[in-house]
Amino acid sequence: MIWLRLAYANLRLSPLTSLVNVLLMALGTASIVLLLLASFQLSQALSRDARGVDLVLGAKGSPVQLILSSVYHSDIPPGNIEQNHADRWAKDPRVKTAVPLALGDSYRGQRIVGTTAAYADLYDAELSDGRLWNAPMEAVAGAAAAESAGLSVGSRFAGAHGIVDQSSAGADHHASQPYRVVGTLKPTGTVIDRLILTSLQSVWSLHSEHTDAGATVSAARQKNESGHHDDHAETHDDHEDGHEHGHDHNQPEEDSASAHSSGHDHHAEDDHSQEITAMLLQYKSPMAAISLPRQINAGPHLQAAAPAMEISRILQLVGIGIDGLQAFAWVLIITAALSVFSALYGSLRARRGDLAMLRCLGATRPELLQVLLLEGLILSGLGVLFGFLIGHGVMELLGYWLSNARGLRLTGLTWAPPETLLLPGLFIVGAVAAAIPAVQAYRTDVARTLANS
């Protein structure tokens, strides 16, 4: 205890130098802690959100975009697919579960997802209030979505096209067909917390209404623009093409039948299949992963993307940036260690006479070595302690901001497994920085030092 007090007293002799050393070590430590927490929680969140999803069917395009939009709901889908094309693979004997998704609308930045009750089962979601939907235009809000959008059982709201702020100018509302919230879900820590779930029929009904209205407006505009010209053309045709009109009336059956057939085919094509955005599949056995994606991708209509494979690609890309930032953080720590070494070495040269007097008073060489090592460990220890506190504090603030702005939940109130190895490693760095000055103090020649004083 006496040597610890002596080491602390020596550091207080140069408070500014000691403070700079502690801050350098704290900044390097906080940087690494922040990166470890972010990378660990990000990889955990990606894996957690994709659990239970072995394969995603969607429109041809980027597989990463398909995964980001359909599994993580953080991107725009590459397009829609016909449900009958997806159902063909959903009924494949190698598939255990198939969950359709229909996207396109949102409410106050929270995505509205048309799906089935099986989607909630993927994430073991449980109701906190109300019930699941059982009719069109009924909705169930995830925990975060309900809190962010101010929804509760009995609330009514109108969706908007795209992922937009409902209060923004130009937001396209479905005011004529509002949703009614019939239930809310308990927090799961997964992507379903940020979603508003409803039936496929609800999404199809809204989009059908929008398409019909758009077609009516377009036809009206076209009629208004061309009506005057058509009137003149009709008059001109009546005067010059009477014979041809008479000839046309002699062939009504063929033309009428052809027109009827064409209209019937078009109607049948429209009703052939409803569109969905994607379908999430679970395999019955791991062997399905070998053949099923290859067969789906060989077809003309769909692509199949495996979340596990795309997650590894995303983490690999993110990991390159994280590795670079970690290298920079280690540079800060090495700089802090050199600063500790410089401070202790300078202190040793200034205190040679004091150390020699301690030897004369009965202090042994190991005790002098212990004092210098304690000084280095105090500096590095304080730096590591403040670094961990700063790193976890900044991560908590960053997580709070991201959860509000991006729906990504990160927290500083957790401990990443890599931190367990980082903690002793940083103390070792501090001990090595103090080792050389401590060894020189150990080798101090008392007689020569006193003679030169």
- Tell me the residue type at 335: T
Distance from C-alpha of 142 to C-alpha of 96, rounded to nearest angstrom: 25
Instruction: Return d(Cα 179, Cα 116) in angstroms, integer.
Output: 16
Task: Indicate whether 353 pLDDT > 70.
Answer: no
Residue 158 confidence class, pLDDT cut points 50, 70, 90: very high
CA dist., res. 156 & res. 143, Å (int):
17
At 214 the pLDDT is 44
pLDDT at 351: 67
pLDDT 10s digits, 21-30: 889 889 889 9
What integer is the mean pLDDT of 128-136? 95
Average pLDDT, the chain: 80
pLDDT of 443 reads 75
C-alpha to C-alpha distance for 246 and 249, rounded to whole angstroms: 5
Distances in whole angstroms, Cα of residue 17 to Cα of each of 12, 207, 231, 339, 385 = 9, 68, 93, 9, 18
The arithmetic mean of pLDDT across residues 93-117, rounded, is 94
The interaxial angle of helices 2-12 and 15-49, nearest 10 deg, is 100
Q: Are strands 55-59 and 278-283 parallel, antiparallel or unpaired?
A: antiparallel
CB proximity list for 105: less than 8 A, separation 6 or greater: 111, 112, 159, 160, 161, 162, 174, 203, 206
Domain boundaries, the chain: 2-47+315-452, 55-206+274-305
pLDDT > 70? residue 451: no
- In terms of Cα–Cα distance, which of 56, 194, 187, 210 is closest to 113? 194
Tens-digit pLDDT profile for residues 254-306: 333 333 333 434 433 344 458 999 999 999 998 999 999 999 999 998 999 99
Q: Look at residue 243 and tell me whether its pLDDT is greater than 70.
A: no
Say yes or no to pLDDT of 236 above 60: no
Number of H helices, E strands in the chain: 15, 13
Q: Is the pLDDT of residue 352 over 70?
A: no
338, 88 contact by CB (below 8 A): no
Q: Which band of pLDDT confidence, cut at 50, 70 and 90, is reported for residue 452?
A: low
Rounded mean pLDDT of 142-167? 85
- Token pair, residue 42, equals 């990000």
Q: Say how far residue 145 (Cα) sits from the centre of its chain.
A: 16
- Indicate whether 365 pLDDT > 60: yes
Q: Mean pLDDT throughout 382-411?
A: 86
Q: Which carries the bigger pLDDT value, residue 197 or residue 450?
A: 197
Residue 228 pLDDT grade (very low, low, confident, very high; cuts 50, 70, 90)? very low
Query: Percent helix, strand and coil across the chain, each rounded to 5?
Result: 65, 15, 25
Tell me which of 79-93, 100-114, 254-268, 365-379 is least confident. Answer: 254-268
Q: What is the pLDDT of residue 367?
A: 82
Query: From CA 108, how far away is CA 422, in angstroms rounded?
Result: 41
Please identify which residue in the block is written with the tokens 């005067």: 239
Position 332 scores a pLDDT of 80
Phi, psi (degrees; rounded to nearest 5) at 57: -95, 135
pLDDT for res 280: 97
Pairwise pLDDT comparison (189 vs 100), residue with the higher score: 100
Separation between Cα atoms, residue 104 and residue 65, nearest integer Å: 15
pLDDT digits 0-9 by tens, 335-345: 888 888 887 77
How remote is the C-alpha of 440 from its chain's centroid? Answer: 52
Number of Cβ within 10 Å of residue 240's Cβ equals: 9
Q: How does pLDDT run across 306-343, given as a tens digit for each residue? A: 999 988 887 777 666 677 777 888 888 888 888 888 87
pLDDT digits (tens, 9 = 90+) for 37-94: 988 998 888 889 998 899 999 999 999 999 999 999 988 999 999 999 999 999 999 9
* Residue burial 278-310, b: 16+ Cβ < 10 Å; e: rest: bbbbbbeeeebbeebbeebeeeeebbbbbbeeb
Over range 368-379, report the average pLDDT: 84
Q: What is the pLDDT of residues 198-220, one digit of tens each?
A: 999 999 988 775 544 444 334 44
The pLDDT of residue 251 is 38
Burial group, residue 232, by CB count within 10 angstroms (0-12, 13-18, 19+): exposed
